[in-house]
């Protein structure tokens, strides 16, 4: 197995890191777009994406083994492989920028309204740079602790709101047919392609079988959380109201208006903040690893500061308006499955000549 640094994530840390990152996408970022596309049947979109997600997860494991068996890191890349690597770098970089913007908007909206977004972004970028330089295992342990705490507190909060939910709001099922369900499933198909970050993250799997169990655990956990989130929003706020609202789970104004904020403010604060940090960390680490392979360098840490600077500048200059960010989310995740095609091309590229 190719590991660019002596340290690597354990299987448990890697699973929790992916859960933290993908949960932010499925549990927060995609919810508004998913409800607009699939409506009451949005939870079905998640269900239909699960088999495809499992297939993608298996392909990612296979692709990683092919890359490692060829020892591609030590061989010169052809022009086509360099282009593919550049696409990966830009994808991870853009996704990191979007995650940082999402975090800035949440913090300003919920508990630091007078703090400028650039200051919030700068603080978190410094934290990411420090964490990448210090130790992979430290962040991995944070991810494990975060997932355990989130599961306990999230389950308790969900049970506490049971009396307020009217699950009849998700009926009738398939009132608009299957078309909207399949279209909504594309968003989650795109989310699963982010498992390709695994191609560039140093992980000690132990065995292929353990890797399969790990990646399927990620898919199952994230799918359940996404389904619960979509059903709960409709059951709690009523579907006609959900159609008119911005995503209520991380908008303090909407939550306070419906007496919901007091119940989830602390939960949403720490979940959004920590999961956003872990997602930005994972994406920037993947981008740096991809750059080191692209340029045939032994260490990825030379790219940490340049990648972090680009992420920060992009978050300040790119998404200046919330509508721009929402349009970007639909386009980015609507075509994100193309990333898997690039991964397949990389995996099945012509074998390097033996030394």
Do the beta carbons of residue 345 and residue 329 sit within 8 Å? no
Which of 169, 209, 146 is closest to 39 using CA atoms?
Answer: 169
Q: Is the pTM of this model over 0.85?
A: no
Q: Which of 206-210, 284-288, 295-299 has the highest mean pLDDT?
A: 284-288
- Over residues 227-249, the mean pLDDT reads 64
Q: Is the pLDDT of residue 26 over 60?
A: yes
d(CA 56, CA 263): 37
pLDDT for residue 79: 72
How many other CB atoms are found less than 10 A from the CB of residue 268? 21
Q: Is the pLDDT of residue 156 over 60?
A: yes
Beta strands in the chain (DSSP E): 9-10, 203-204
Do the beta carbons of residue 339 and residue 93 sit within 8 Å? no
**Which of the two residues, 342 and 126, has the higher pLDDT score?**
126
* pLDDT band, residue 181 (cuts 50/70/90): confident
The HSE-up count of residue 337 (CA atoms within 13 Å, CB side) is: 13
pLDDT for residue 240: 55
pLDDT for residue 170: 74
The end-to-end CA distance of the chain, in Å, is 18
Domain spans in the chain, listed from the N-terminal domain onward: 9-71+99-347
Q: Is 5 strand, coil or helix?
A: coil
How many other CB atoms are found less than 10 A from the CB of residue 75? 14
**Which of the two residues, 283 and 7, has the higher pLDDT score?**
283
- Over residues 72-76, the mean pLDDT reads 49
pLDDT tens digit string along 302-311? 888 999 999 9
Backbone angles phi, psi at 10, to 5 degrees: -80, 170
Two structure tokens written together for 79: 């022009």
Q: What residues contact 340, with CB distance under 8 A and at least 6 apart?
A: 56, 59, 193, 196
pLDDT for residue 25: 83
Do the beta carbons of residue 230 and residue 35 sit within 8 Å? yes
Which of 283, 78, 321 is closest to 197 using CA atoms?
Answer: 283
- Alpha-carbon distance values, 206 to 73, 210, 232, 268, 319 (Å): 21, 7, 38, 35, 41
Q: Is the pLDDT of residue 115 over 60?
A: yes
How many other CB atoms are found less than 10 A from the CB of residue 13? 21
Backbone angles phi, psi at 282, to 5 degrees: -60, -45
Output the average pLDDT for the chain.
77
- Over residues 286-304, the mean pLDDT reads 83
- Over residues 63-78, the mean pLDDT reads 59
């Amino acid at each position: 197995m190719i590991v660019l640094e002596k340290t690597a994530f354990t299987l448990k840390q890697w699973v929790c890191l992916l859960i933290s990152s993908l949960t932010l996408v499925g549990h927060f970022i995609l919810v508004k777009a998913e409800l607009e596309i699939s409506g009451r049947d949005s939870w079905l979109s998640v269900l239909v994406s699960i088999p495809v997600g499992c297939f993608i997860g298996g392909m990612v494991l296979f692709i990683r083994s092919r890359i490692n068996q060829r020892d591609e890191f030590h061989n010169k890349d052809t022009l086509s492989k360099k282009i593919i690597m550049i696409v990966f770098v830009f994808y991870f970089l853009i996704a990191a920028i979007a995650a940082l913007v999402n975090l800035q908007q949440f913090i300003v909206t919920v508990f630091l309204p007078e703090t400028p977004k650039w200051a919030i972004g700068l603080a978190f970028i410094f934290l990411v740079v420090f964490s990448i330089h210090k130790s992979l295992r430290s962040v991995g342990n944070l991810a494990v602790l975060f997932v355990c705490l989130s599961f306990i507190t999230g389950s308790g909060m969900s049970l506490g709101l049971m009396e307020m939910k009217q699950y009849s709001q998700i009926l009738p099922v398939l009132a608009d047919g299957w078309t909207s369900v399949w279209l909504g499933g594309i968003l989650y198909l795109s989310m699963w392609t982010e498992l390709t970050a695994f191609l560039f993250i140093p992980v000690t799997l132990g065995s292929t079988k353990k890797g399969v169990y790990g990646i399927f655990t990620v898919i199952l956990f994230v799918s359940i959380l996404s389904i619960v989130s979509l059903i709960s929003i409709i059951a709690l706020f009523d579907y006609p109201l959900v159609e008119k609202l911005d995503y209520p789970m991380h908008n303090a104004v909407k939550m306070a208006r419906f007496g919901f904020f007091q119940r989830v403010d602390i939960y949403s604060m720490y979940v959004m903040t920590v999961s956003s940090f872990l997602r930005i960390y994972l994406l920037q680490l993947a981008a740096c690893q991809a750059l080191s392979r692209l340029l045939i360098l032994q260490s990825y840490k030379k790219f940490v500061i340049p990648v972090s600077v680009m992420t920060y500048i992009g978050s300040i200059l790119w998404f200046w308006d919330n509508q721009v960010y929402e349009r970007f989310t639909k386009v980015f995740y609507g075509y994100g499955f193309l990333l898997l095609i690039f991964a397949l091309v990389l995996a099945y590229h012509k074998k390097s000549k033996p030394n």
